[in-house]
Amino acid sequence: MRILLLFLLLTCCSSPRAPEPQRLKISFNAMPVTVDPRKSSDFISSTLICMIFEGLTRCRADGSPEMALADHVEISSDRLTYLFHLRSSVWSDGTPVTAHDFEKSWKTILDPAHANPSAYLFYPIKHAEASYKGLVSSDQIGIRAVNDSILEVVLERPTGYFLSLTAYPSYLPAPSHALDRIGRWTSGEQVPLISNGPFCLHSACSKSHILLRKNERFWNLDPIHLDEIHISIVPNETTALQMFARGELDWLGGAISPLPIDALQTIQDSPSLQFSPMAATTFCAFKTDHPHLSNQHLRQALSLAMNRSDIVEKITQMRETPATRFIPPSLSSNRNRLLYQPHDPELAKLHLQKALSELEIEPKEIHLTLSFRSTQLDARIAQILQTQWKETLGLTIALEQKEPQNFKELLYHRKFDLALAFWIAQFSDPINILERFENSENWKNYPGWNNEQFTKLVRSAWSQTDQLKRFSLIDEAEDLLAEEMPLAPIYHWSNMSLCNPRLQNIQMTPNGAVLFEYCYWE
């Protein structure tokens, strides 16, 4: 009895144990290329940037924008002038975040010397496109810090989705007073990175891991439960899955760390498995100024020879939707329009004969190479496409594998014949897919395709305020893409992920972004 009383006395008098820090372990399948919002273009870099930087708005799980550093916004009656009123917030070193940070960052992206592939996302802003093309000075761009707390943005045309754009990573501010830190981080130097998001970049080891810690100076700290996020760099999909099984990762999947293509049969009954639609599409791009691929019939033949259902059912096996249109259904009320036949061998042969006649060549004179990223999934898709084109059209297509970073450069500079690529919508509006083809100079217009009628339709849709008329213009523009087929969509993505059942409130946007900052341990 005395021992029991002593134990109770010691227990009551001892100090309570401090709660363990909330840590999240995730992985990326490649090292981010940059931590600079002004240079963001790839999905993995954008994911990290959104963890450590905060913009005027943020993206909700349903894809709509919500106010972030902007406390509120005033919009003029003609929908051309936006006055963003910034709330009081600071950078991680305590320096105030101001409207001047936004002005300087955005104008840097629109500097022709900066060569940012996402610069076109700023084109709704007055004189932004002209400045990026070197036709006017940056002083004429419709971006102005009225004072430290008010940012004025003047648009070229009414743009109903402009607030959604301001949540995109390229619209997030870089710290004007500490820009050198970003460059030094990118070069591998371990110096404190100044940021203003929910987390700070604490340390990184090239090709190994990244450690994020909660930013105690973040303006909206209450909803942030995690103390640390440990990001392992795991290029191999099977290795990442094994790490999840061993408890070394708490969440796995999406576009940042895709699951191995053979995994579904093994894990399909797992309570950790989750699916969600995603505004992303895998496609085959055709270089439209290629001597042979400039022929519309040849492009149609290659598209019609694809058995998209076979690819989804036998290769990807992750509940994707065989594509019969260019715009992901999740961007159009889940409407998967039938714009082209997903597989028609006889019609494919007919188009091939028309192409050979117009080009005045024999099939054996067609020498094409399909380039693809060095991932397990892309390699298998490339192989089945090669087989389908051979069996249906009698064409021998060579295969060329590229490392992800080299493949991106190949796409931007159009150094390919055929390319197995993908897009992920940058904001929740179908115009984001179509505007890539508005002119052939857009970096993300991989085929280099140009059509005057298409350009007119997209530009009309930009400023159309009547939603019924706007979507009619979008449909008409998409019809033109299907007719000329500068690229052939293969399937629209389903976002598959594995999540530790104790991890709560993992939110995913329609564009595939994962809002890790709001999750917590049960």
CATH number at residue 434: 3.10.105.10
Kindly state whether residues 455 and 508 are assigned to the same domain.
Answer: no
Kindly state whether residues 300 and 414 are assigned to the same domain.
Answer: yes
Kindly state whether residues 100 and 225 are assigned to the same domain.
Answer: no
Kindly state whether residues 302 and 385 are assigned to the same domain.
Answer: yes
Domain span at residue 74 reads 54-173
Kindly state whether residues 296 and 260 are assigned to the same domain.
Answer: no
The rounded distance, in Å, linking the Cα atoms of 235 and 238 is 9
Answer whether residue 29 is part of any domain.
Answer: no
Say how many domains are in the chain: 3
Counting beta carbons within 10 angstroms of the beta carbon of residue 472, is it exposed (0 to 12), middle (13 to 18) or buried (19 or more)?
Answer: middle
Kindly state whether residues 310 and 443 are assigned to the same domain.
Answer: yes
Kindly state whether residues 302 and 434 are assigned to the same domain.
Answer: yes
Answer whether residue 516 is part of any domain.
Answer: yes
Kindly state whether residues 142 and 191 are assigned to the same domain.
Answer: no
Counting beta carbons within 10 angstroms of the beta carbon of residue 57, is it exposed (0 to 12), middle (13 to 18) or buried (19 or more)?
Answer: buried
Which CATH number is 221's domain given? Answer: 3.40.190.10
Kindly state whether residues 222 and 349 are assigned to the same domain.
Answer: no
Kindly state whether residues 265 and 281 are assigned to the same domain.
Answer: no
Which residue, 151, 173, 195, sits at the end of a domain?
Answer: 173
Kindly state whether residues 87 and 210 are assigned to the same domain.
Answer: no
Which CATH number is 154's domain given? Answer: 3.90.76.10
Q: Which DSSP string do the residues of 130-189 spell out, in sequence order? A: HHHTTSS-GGGSSEEEEETTEEEEEBSS--TTHHHHTTSGGGSPP-GGGHHHHHHHHTT-
In tens digits, what is the pLDDT along the chain, a chain of 522 residues? 443 333 333 333 444 455 678 999 999 998 888 899 999 878 899 999 999 999 999 999 888 899 999 999 999 999 999 999 999 999 999 999 999 999 999 999 999 988 888 899 999 999 999 999 999 999 999 999 999 999 999 999 999 899 999 999 999 999 999 888 887 776 667 778 999 999 999 988 767 899 999 999 999 999 999 999 999 999 999 999 999 999 999 999 988 998 887 777 778 778 888 888 789 999 999 999 999 999 999 999 999 999 999 999 999 888 899 999 999 988 876 677 889 999 999 999 999 999 999 999 999 999 999 999 988 889 999 999 999 999 999 999 999 999 988 998 999 999 999 999 999 888 888 999 999 999 898 889 999 999 999 999 999 998 888 888 999 999 999 999 999 999 999 999 988 899 999 999 998 888 888 999 999 998
Answer whether residue 256 is part of any domain.
Answer: yes
* Number of Cα atoms under 13 Å in the Cβ half of residue 351: 22
Closest CA to 478 of 431, 510, 522: 431
Closest CA to 287 of 391, 343, 371, 212: 371
Kindly state whether residues 291 and 361 are assigned to the same domain.
Answer: yes
